[in-house]
Every structure is written in structure tokens, then in C-alpha cells.
Amino acid sequence: MPVRKIPKNYRNVTGVSPHRKAVGEAQYESTLERDFLTLLEFDPNVESFEVQPVTIEWKGANRKKRRYTPDALVHYKHGIAEPILYEVKYRKELKKKWPELRPVFKAAIHYTKEHGWRFKLITDTEIRTTYLSNARFLLPFVRRGPQSEEHMEMLADKLQEQHQSTPGQLLKSIFQDEWHQAELLPTLWYLIGTRQIFVDMNQPLTMTSVIRAVKA
């Protein structure tokens, strides 16, 4: 659960994201944090995450008590990785404020070691990618689920026959008319979004993207 309420801020975009993997409210204080939460929700290796879950107390150079609340604690599935406490920052801000932020992050590293976690910085360079654009597009289809099991079987069986195709070619190989192709399309995006059909997520997702059957 968040340890503090994020106030409304008229200089930055604030809000709450409707994510199923979030423990408590998935609040964010910037569009960059919002985008990072989208990546966590879309990542199949993420079991759950908590926004601003802990406040770390530490002492500065003058021995004055300081407090710091990192952005998110992420729990991963099946022991893939230990929990990671993330701090989300714009790279420009990180460079500009590094002398000020360095001791804060050192305190966070010490704190996470004590708890068997890891601490990790992540910036807009890693977040604002083609992968994020694809995740944003596919998440609504993942949340909605497939149109029907019949559609799933149709698409999966045909792609198994072909081994490799594109979204456009796969739909045309099942139905000739565009109306029925359009009916299948949401389920195709669902299968891609849930990694039941492979596509390179680091490339723009289009109707001509190369897709492959996932080996059982």
C-alpha cells in the first residue's frame, strides 16, 4: 500500500492508473511514472507492484534526518528475480541533481540489501521506447480478453500451419471478407499481447509485422 498520498499537482500530471497488478492505488506524479506503471502491468514476469510502498529514513552529511520515498516495489513471478525497489527519473534531472541525489540512492541501496531486495534507477531512456508504444496499444486487448475460444483456436491453428506470417496475411488466410477479418483482429492482438503469438516488441507493431507460432 502507498505510504503517502500523492497530492494534485498543477505543474505535473498526477493521477491513478487502473492496473490489476497494483497492490493498492497505482498513483503517479508524472507521465513518466505513469508510463513505467504501464510497462509493469504489461510485463508477464511481474506478479505485482506497490507504488511508494516505503519511506526510507537516513542521515545527511550534517547528521540531519532525511526521508525518501521511492516510486515502486516490484515483485516478480516464480523467483525470476528478487523484489526490486525502483526510482523513476528523467535522465536530464538525474544529471542535473546527481550530487544531491547520490547520497539518497546510497541510502536506498543499503535499505534494500537489508530487506533482500535490489534498488534500481530507471529513466525515460529505458521507458519511452517502441516497446512502450506497443504495450499501450495491446493492454486494452489483454484486459478485454479474447472474443471467443473459437477465434483463438482458428488463429493459433492456422499460424501453426504457416509457422510464420503477418497479422494481415494471417487474417486473409482464414477469411476473405474484411468484415470477418475485423472480427478476428481483437483476438489476434490479445494473443500477441499475452505472448501466445510471438512478435518483436521492440519494433513498431503493424499489420505487416512478422509473427510466429510459439512452441508449446
> Each residue of 164-185: pLDDT tens digit?
999 999 999 999 999 999 999 9
Give residue 139's Cα distance to chain centre.
Answer: 10
Residue 81: predicted pLDDT = 87
Evaluate if pTM is beyond 0.75: yes
Residue 13: predicted pLDDT = 47
Could you tell me what percent of the chain has a pLDDT over 90? 79
Could you tell me what percent of the chain has a pLDDT over 70? 90
> Each residue of 42-63: pLDDT tens digit?
999 999 999 999 999 988 777 7
Residue 88: predicted pLDDT = 97
